Homo-oligomer: A and B are copies of this chain.
């Protein structure tokens, strides 16, 4: 007969889980790379799949279009993105990564992958697979 109920255990484990996530967030995920803000990175990630209109950018990021204007302004100023007005519909704006923007994004992606490797590094190969199996069950993917 257990000392406490499954509900009580769940609460304790949930609390501990949140602490672990906080630690990992501090240790790995807030690690800034490439002098790019969270927002700038989100826009670059969207553009990495190919050029997009401002509407597509804002839909993808869930932000107001007036906010996106400023972010893209700064990316353009830094030579990371380019705007063009397509002749098909001159109301829209096409935004695309420049070569430099692509390079910076790839650099960030590699850095991020290293953080992921760093997280798994303390585990044995079998444990890593175990962890991923549990994550799949949680996210249902």
Contact B6 A113 (CB under 8 A): no
Contact size range, A: 35 or more
CB-CB < 8 A to A119: which residues of B?
14, 17, 138
B13, A21: Cβ atoms under 8 Å? Answer: no
Q: Are A135 and B10 closer than 8 Å at their CB atoms?
A: no
Interface of A is mostly: helix
A129 within 8 A of B: yes
Tell me the minimal C-beta distance from A90 to chain B in angstroms.
34
B14–A21 touching, CB < 8 Å: no
With known contacts A14-B120, A117-B10, A117-B14, A24–B130 Cβ distance under 8 A: no
Are A131 and B129 in contact (CB-based, < 8 A)? no
- Complex Cα distance, B10 from A121, in Å, reads 8
Q: A140 interface residue, CB < 8 Å from B?
A: yes
Which A residues lie at the B interface, using CB under 8 A?
Answer: 6, 9-11, 13-21, 23-24, 27, 29, 112-113, 115-117, 119-123, 125, 127-132, 134-141
CB pairs A–B below 8 angstroms (11 shown): A14-B120, A16-B135, A17-B131, A17-B135, A18-B115, A18-B116, A20-B135, A20-B141, A122-B140, A123-B137, A127-B137
